[in-house]
Amino acid sequence: MINWSEQRVVVTGGSGFLGSHVVRALQRRGAGDIFVPLRENYDLRQQSAILDLLNDARPTLIIHLAASVGGIGANRAHPAEFFYDNLMMGTQLLHESWVAGVEKFVAIGTVCAYPKHTPIPFREEELWNGYPEETNAPYGLAKKMLLVQSQAYRQQYGYNSIFLLPVNLYGPGDSFDLESSHVIPALIRKCIEAKERGEESIVAWGDGSATREFLYVEDAAEGIVLASERYNRSEPVNLGSGFEISIRDLLHTIARHTGFNGHIEWDTTKPNGQPRRALNTDRAFDYFGFRATTDFDEGLRKTVEWYKQTMAASRQASMSGRG
């Protein structure tokens, strides 16, 4: 077990969606020395910036959350960028952390690393049994290399690094940018804006048959911190909720929470992405006692309410500025 009051923790991506929740979870446990590197100060694609970070923060533990990431549209538009950025950040950071004597490295992978056609529920043993879904393969494979590196450095150097595989996340603080956001925030925003404009329909990608599993961001943060405390092996570990839902049912649920009563048009010229995603989460419970606790419908309600409040505050600030 880790005594958090004695740790110097670096959380890359700590100002982002998941990272801000991880920082709060660490603070609740008594971690006082937490360093969050900002991209404008430390471009982690550059080795020199990584060396500066390690010298400035002198961490005993690194939780590597920083990533170039987005939904299907963003992955299709930026495959090279997503591959290069994620590979360079992860590979160099883990290597230089080992060189600098950082005691533990927590690498965060992605469910996109799994093969396109993986038996349901996804088990960690299936990770190498096929190629990932094409629309996000460059991103998934770049993150997957952290698993290879983690296992290689443990084998050769005895380095204590771990690799976690969170499923799709959602919750307050997510990005609602329609160009780059994931499915839940994108659909929430579409429904709310269509309702406000009095539109009778919205357009959704694919045919709605694909399924996804979603993990509330606070649960994900708890799982990451528990693994940081208790898990010290390089076998990959899924972080999920155990709840699978079709995109069609998801959109109907979001429409209910946002009050959108219009028609849903499915654009079948757009890709569905991976046909199904649902994780087996036994390993996370067996290895470090993690189970998700947030009911999906309740988590979705909180996310919708957060977005409404954020929009209202933004409009009020804009009106005040004009006044």
Report how far apart the first and last C-alpha atoms of the chain are (Å, whole number): 55
Write down the residue that tokens 């499923």 correspond to.
167
Distance of alpha carbon 303 from alpha carbon 296, whole angstroms: 10
Q: Would you call 114 a catalytic residue per the annotation?
A: no
Per annotation, catalytic residue among 114, 139, 159, 231: 139
Q: Are 10 and 61 in contact (CB under 8 A)?
A: yes
Cα within 13 Å of Cα(16), Cβ side:
19
Distance of alpha carbon 32 from alpha carbon 16, whole angstroms: 19
CA 164-41-228 angle, to 5 degrees, is 20
Write the DSSP symbol of residue 130: S
The pair of structure tokens assigned to 285 is 């419970």
The pair of structure tokens assigned to 280 is 């087996």
Write down the residue that tokens 């570990």 correspond to.
237
Q: Nearest-CA neighbor of 152 among 105, 118, 89? A: 105
Task: Show which residues are catalytic.
Answer: 139
